[in-house]
């Protein structure tokens, strides 16, 4: 068990906390979805309520080790100030004399937000000197950015060499739910996998076949599976060279008595556009047509399986949900899962975005804040950002 915020004294101390404020911004640089900021509030408020001086750090976008104004964290500071109803002081860098002076002048209940960590190439390289400079800003370190825990960066792993390091409430909850579904799931257990690429999900399937009873497949990755079953996939996206891999998955599933469900009908279109001509077809997609969502028969079948399940993990939308004509499958399954008496864990990334868009997040047992991190957890990998935290005695 990892130590958490409640296991350390923070009164009067400088608390350095890694958050995931990598939020979407619009053209006027306003935050369009603040769910990642909101997710960090329980840890932030606990630290402030218990007399800590809070120094927050995050990345935003992909500045590739250069200072780029479009990736500055000012919009995040503004949004966080509004949520906390108090001033969050935003720095122009994450290390240096100005930052050190501001941190040394802090009083209990003050909040400072450092500038984008990834303006420094040393962050992703986990450079020891850079990590040491970041660590010097705190007396304890709190990891609350699950979305970056699968990365061995200076702000996730490097700083833990110099400071007592614990999990924030967000990361604690992620650990709790992913440990539950990977180590001791209530049965029957259903895994839903969607998204674009089969290759991204193979390690998850291989790791989870020992644990699940049902595997429901949707999204563009379904067409590679269907092609291996000699179904017509038209002009749908498929991954070449994956036939042997898919065959191996079917063989493994048979050995482990896992039922794999593939789409039986499809919403197809003449192009990847909301204005393209679209229709529902059966199990074979005609030449020239692209599969973009699961059809009504498949939705009905998948709901039947889900109704039987006591644990459900979902990673990857089952259709191109960003476009209205192709979001029905994802929407119908999300609404159905939200009503079930089961442990429901939604992998981060696009799946979380879809569930948030449908305003169903509070109806799920757990909404993960990390797409890549949740995938690696399901793959059975050790996440370096979690492994680096202190153990409870």
Write down the pLDDT at residue 372: 87
Q: Is 349 assigned a catalytic role?
A: yes
Range 375-381, long-range pairs (CB < 8 A, 24+ positions): 375/200, 375/201, 375/204, 375/315, 375/347, 376/150, 377/174, 377/178, 377/182, 378/178, 378/181, 378/182, 378/204, 378/207, 378/208, 378/313, 378/315, 378/347, 379/203, 379/204, 379/207, 380/182, 380/207, 381/150
All domains of the chain in start order, with CATH: 5-170 (3.40.50.1260), 177-378 (3.40.50.1260)
Q: Is 339 assigned a catalytic role?
A: no
pTM of the model: 0.91
Q: Is 36 assigned a catalytic role?
A: yes
Question: What's the average model confidence in pLDDT over 328-338?
Answer: 97
b/e 129-161 (16+ beta carbons within 10 angstroms → b): ebbebbbbbbbbbbbbbbbbbbbbbbbbbbbbe
DSSP 25: B
pLDDT tens for 27-64 read: 899 998 898 999 999 999 999 999 999 999 999 999 99
pLDDT band, residue 197 (cuts 50/70/90): confident
pLDDT tens for 335-355 read: 999 999 999 999 878 898 899
| Annotated catalytic residue within 194, 349, 371, 385 | 349
How many residues appear in the chain?
A: 393
215: closest CA among 235, 194, 230, 244? 194
Please say whether the beta carbons of 93 and 115 come within 8 A: yes
| Annotated catalytic residue within 13, 36, 53, 331 | 36
Write down the pLDDT at residue 196: 85
b/e 36-67 (16+ beta carbons within 10 angstroms → b): bbebbebbbebbbebebbbbbbbbbeebeeee
Instruction: Kindly tell me if the per-residue pLDDT of 369 is higher than 90.
Output: no
Write down the pLDDT at residue 203: 93
Nearby residues of 42 by Cβ (< 8 Å), 6 or more positions away: 168, 169, 170
Q: Measure the CA–CA gap between 131 and 123, rounded to whole angstroms.
A: 8
- CA distances to 145, 292, 328 from 324, in Å: 31, 11, 8
pLDDT tens for 207-265 read: 999 999 999 999 999 999 999 999 999 999 999 889 889 999 999 999 999 999 999 99
Q: Measure the CA–CA gap between 9 and 140, rounded to whole angstroms.
A: 9
290: closest CA among 225, 332, 235? 235
Write down the pLDDT at residue 329: 97
Q: Is 372 assigned a catalytic role?
A: yes
Nearby residues of 36 by Cβ (< 8 Å), 6 or more positions away: 19, 20, 21, 22, 23, 147, 369
265: closest CA among 231, 241, 238? 231
Residue 137 φ/ψ, nearest 5 degrees: -80, -10
Note if the bond before 79 is cis, omega within 30 degrees.
no
pLDDT band, residue 17 (cuts 50/70/90): very high
303: closest CA among 334, 283, 333, 273? 333
Write down the pLDDT at residue 358: 92
Instruction: Kindly tell me if the per-residue pLDDT of 371 is higher than 90.
Output: no
Write down the pLDDT at residue 279: 96
Question: What's the average model confidence in pLDDT over 372-385?
Answer: 92
| Annotated catalytic residue within 68, 125, 161, 197 | 197
């Amino acid at each position: 068990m990892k130590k958490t915020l409640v296991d350390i004294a923070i009164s009067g101390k400088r608390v350095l906390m890694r958050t995931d404020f990598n939020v979407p911004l619009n053209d006027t640089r306003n935050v369009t979805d603040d769910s990642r900021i909101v997710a960090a509030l329980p840890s932030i408020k606990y630290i402030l309520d218990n007399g800590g001086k809070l120094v927050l750090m995050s990345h935003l976008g992909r500045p590739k080790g250069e200072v780029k104004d479009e990736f500055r964290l000012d919009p995040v500071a503004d949004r966080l100030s509004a949520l906390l109803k108090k001033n969050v002081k935003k720095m122009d860098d994450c290390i240096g004399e100005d930052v050190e002076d501001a941190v040394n002048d802090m009083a209990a209940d003050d909040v400072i937000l450092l500038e984008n960590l990834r303006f420094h190439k040393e962050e992703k390289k986990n450079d020891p000197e850079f990590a040491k400079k970041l660590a010097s800003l705190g007396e304890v370190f709190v990891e609350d950015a699950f979305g970056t825990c699968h990365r061995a960066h200076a702000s996730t792993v490097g700083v833990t060499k110099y400071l007592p390091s614990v999990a924030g409430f967000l990361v604690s909850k992620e650990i709790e739910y992913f440990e539950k579904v990977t180590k001791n799931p209530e049965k029957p257990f259903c895994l839903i996998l969607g998204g674009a690429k089969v290759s991204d999900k193979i390690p998850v399937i291989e790791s989870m076949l020992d644990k699940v009873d049902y595997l429901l497949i949707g999204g563009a990755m379904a067409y590679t599976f269907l092609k291996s079953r000699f179904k017509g996939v038209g002009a749908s996206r498929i991954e070449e060279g994956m036939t042997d891999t898919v065959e191996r998955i079917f063989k493994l599933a048979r050995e482990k008595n896992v039922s794999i469900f593939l789409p039986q009908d499809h919403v197809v279109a003449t192009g990847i556009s909301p204005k393209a001509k679209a229709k529902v077809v059966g199990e074979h997609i005609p030449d020239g047509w692209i599969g973009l969502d699961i059809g009504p028969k498949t939705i009905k079948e998948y709901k039947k399986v889900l109704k039987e399940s006591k644990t459900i993990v979902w990673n990857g939308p089952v259709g191109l949900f960003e476009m209205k004509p192709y979001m029905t499958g994802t929407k119908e399954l999300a609404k159905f899962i939200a009503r079930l008496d089961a442990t429901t864990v939604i992998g981060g990334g696009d799946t979380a975005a879809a569930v948030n868009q449908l305003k169903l997040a509070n109806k799920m047992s757990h909404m993960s804040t990390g797409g890549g991190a949740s995938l690696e957890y399901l793959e059975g990998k050790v996440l370096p950002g979690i492994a680096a935290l202190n153990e409870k005695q």
